Structure 1
Amino acid sequence: MTHSYGLKKGTRSKFAKPFRGHGNISIRKTLQTFRRGDFVDILVDGAQHKGVPFQYYHGRTARVFNVNPRGIGVSLQRRVRGRYVEKRFHVRADHLRPSKCREEFVKRVQENDKKKTEANKKKQLISTKRQPVLPRGAEVVKPNATVFQNPKAFVEII
């Protein structure tokens, strides 16, 4: 019998639930809120067969552009023959999770704002540019005393 050419071909392990992670979909996943502009990670939940995106998008990060009662519209850039094309599609909320890709950036912006307000109070100019990690400073190793290591005398065992 020939193999099928369906949309979900070759997804046996990709869409499988993890070890000891089988069972019903948690209500928390279904009821999570998404707003337009949020970044989300697309991770297909094998227990929910409705609203499944195509397997290429599993593990990708996208941006929410539309919110409906049963579907979340997401868009991302997909490479097609050497160029990037915007792809837009709707997915169930069970297959999405909020992405952590902007956490570090948002945290850095908040820290920079605090630094700027403190500098403005002191009437100083500061640079908020990130500096690369510089090489470590040179160190000179000086031993306390010179230790000579000579081989021990060979003793024949009879």
Structure 2
Amino acid sequence: MQRSRGTRSKTRKKLTSVKRPGRSNPITKKLQRFQEDDLVHIIIDPSVHKGQPHPRFHGKTGKIIGAKGRAYVLGINDKNKAKELIVRPEHLKLQDPE
């Protein structure tokens, strides 16, 4: 028998959200706006499947390169290789300026 290997395989803990009444999917996450060169954290919202990056990028930080429709193009270093991700704003969080 062949094992299933979908895009969400091996993510049982990573892609589960904490159940908090009334805060499951706030609209303000969709309405976030980012500028170019902003640093953002990739925090995947498991309740929104559209625009999710691959789970290996969960918790990483990237720089906004541009916009593509409703999504943003991020530049990220994966090990020592530069990659570009297309991610919707529900899965992004602005890094605190310190």
Q: Which aligned runs of 4 or more in structure 1 are off by greater than 3 angstroms? A: 21-24
Counterpart of 2:62 in structure 1 is 62
Question: What is the Cα deviation at residue 22 of structure 1?
Answer: 7.7
- What is the percent sequence identity of the aligned residues? 31
Please list, as runs of the form range in 1=range in 2, the aligned pairs for 1:30-49 lying within 5 A after superposition: 30-49=30-49
The Cα RMSD (Å) is: 1.8
Q: How many residues are paired up?
A: 98
Q: Which runs of 5+ in 1 are unaligned?
A: 105-158
Counterpart of 1:15 in structure 2 is 15
CA–CA separation in structure 2 for the residues paired with 1:77 and 1:97: 18
| Larger strand fraction of residues | 2
Q: Which runs of 5+ in 2 are unaligned?
A: none
1:81-127 CA distance string (max 9 Å, x none): xxx11010100110001012xx22xxxxxxxxxxxxxxxxxxxxxxx
CA–CA separation in structure 2 for the residues paired with 1:25 and 1:68: 23
CA–CA separation in structure 1 for the residues paired with 2:47 and 2:3: 24
TM-score between both structures, scaled by the size of structure 1:
0.57
Please list, as runs of the form range in 1=range in 2, the aligned pairs for 1:84-123 lying within 5 A after superposition: 84-100=80-96, 103-104=97-98
| Larger helix fraction of residues | 1
CA shift in 2, pair 1:22/1:86, >3 Å: farther
Structure with greater contact order relative to length (CA < 8 Å, sep ≥ 6): 2
